């Protein structure tokens, strides 16, 4: 055993070291994720007249809601496999859209809403998946061909 200097944990926000589970950003990510889920659920069950319209397209609102929820899910659960997070968000979207069927809604508009939800999910996951793919290739050293 060597008696070197003690290992110092990198607690900076954007460093390469380990970030603590109880760090302020980790806690904020979990709260933001729960807040996004709650906002989506409340919006689904409120009458349309009480829901503020943020953009002109209903489908863009679905896209944006699930984009934000998926980003917060990725931040809130850094050790959870991407596939599990994705399946959980897809299941959440399916269940929410299915609740409209209970009130007698037509299925095809719900499918369109769900497709918009999945677009937001895909847009949030794409950069993460591409970055993981890129990490699989070793960096070339200077001077190497």
Residue 59: Cβ within 10 Å count:
15
- Based on DSSP, count helices (H) and strands (E) in the chain, helices before strands: 4, 0
- Could you tell me the pTM of the whole model? 0.81
pLDDT of amino acid 128? 95
Distance CA 93, CA 42 (A): 14
pLDDT of amino acid 101? 85
Mean pLDDT of each 10-residue bin along the chain, 145 residues long? 56 69 89 96 86 86 95 94 96 91 85 95 96 89 69
pLDDT of amino acid 6? 57
Distance CA 55, CA 64 (A): 10
pLDDT of amino acid 111? 92
pLDDT of amino acid 126? 97
Domain boundaries, the chain: 59-136
pLDDT of amino acid 141? 81
Distance CA 64, CA 12 (A): 30
pLDDT of amino acid 142? 77
């Amino acid at each position: 055993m060597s008696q070197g200097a003690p290992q110092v944990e990198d607690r900076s926000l954007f460093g390469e070291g380990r970030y603590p589970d109880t760090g302020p950003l980790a806690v904020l990510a979990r709260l933001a994720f729960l807040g996004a889920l709650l906002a989506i659920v409340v919006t689904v069950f409120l009458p349309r007249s009480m829901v503020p319209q943020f953009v002109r397209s209903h489908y863009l609102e679905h896209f944006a809601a699930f984009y934000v929820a998926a980003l917060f899910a990725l931040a809130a659960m850094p050790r959870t496999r991407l596939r599990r997070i994705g399946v959980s968000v897809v299941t959440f979207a399916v269940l929410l859209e299915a609740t409209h069927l209970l009130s007698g809604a037509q299925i095809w508009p719900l499918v369109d809403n769900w497709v918009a939800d999945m677009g937001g999910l895909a847009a949030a996951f794409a950069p993460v998946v591409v970055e993981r793919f890129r990490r699989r290739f070793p960096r070339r050293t200077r001077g190497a061909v």
